[in-house]
Amino acid sequence: MPNNKVSPNTVVMLTMGLEQETEMSSEETDALLGRHETGVLALARDDDPYAIPISFGYDADERLFYMRLVADSGSEKSKFLSGSPDVRLVVYEEEGRTYRSAVVTGVLESVARDEITPEHVAQYGEAKRPLFEIWGESRSDLDIQLHVLRPTTISGRRIELESDE
């Protein structure tokens, strides 16, 4: 009987029938970003990566992202968010045999409380809060920060898989 065990060092590649991969237009990418309110925000510092799930509000006219980020004071997240870090935001969806994704690169800028405008309030209202939050600290020890992501690039891709038939 043959040995069907896979060693931990073995790389197994599965292939899918790829029919078409295309770049999405700005309008299609904006529509994808407007349909979603969550994504993954990736930051790096000294070659040390950090990625977190986030919620956001998106202004397609201005092409700006508004985020309300909460962290324990002194936490790893707070350290990565200090200054105005370069970031990537990834948003994706799957619909049947179609996959779409958008990747946004840019600078994440903190908005000081005394600089908040009525427009900010409206946009941060679009950034949905999770239905529940779990923190190791009391709420009074949490650092709530408002940020704007000013993109340098926004790109979108669509992948259509072949039918199994």
Q: Compute the Cα dihedral for 114, 118, 119, 120 and give only its sign.
A: positive
CA distance 153 to 17: 29
pLDDT in tens, 28-87: 999 999 999 899 999 888 888 889 898 888 989 999 998 887 777 777 777 777 766 789
Residue 95: both structure tokens together:
């619909």
Q: What is the pLDDT of residue 19?
A: 67
CA distance 71 to 128: 16
Contacts of residue 92, defined as CB under 8 A and 6 or more positions apart, other chains included, come to 39, 99, 100, 101, 102
| Residue 120, SS3 per DSSP | helix
Residue 88: Cβ within 10 Å count: 17
Q: What is the pLDDT of residue 165?
A: 60
Model confidence at 149, pLDDT cuts 50, 70, 90, reads very high
Domains of the chain, each with CATH number or no CATH? 18-161 (2.30.110.10)
Q: What is the residue whose two structure tokens read 């941060």?
A: 124
Range from 69-78, 121-130, 155-164 carrying the lowest mean pLDDT: 121-130
CA distance 27 to 33: 10
**Residues across the chain:** 165
Write the single-letter amino acid at 59. D
Do 55 and 67 form a contact (C-beta atoms < 8 A)?
yes
Q: What is the pLDDT of residue 85?
A: 77
Instruction: Kindly report the backbone phi and psi dihedral angles of residue 30, in degrees, each rounded to the nearest multiple of 5, phi listed first.
Output: -60, -40
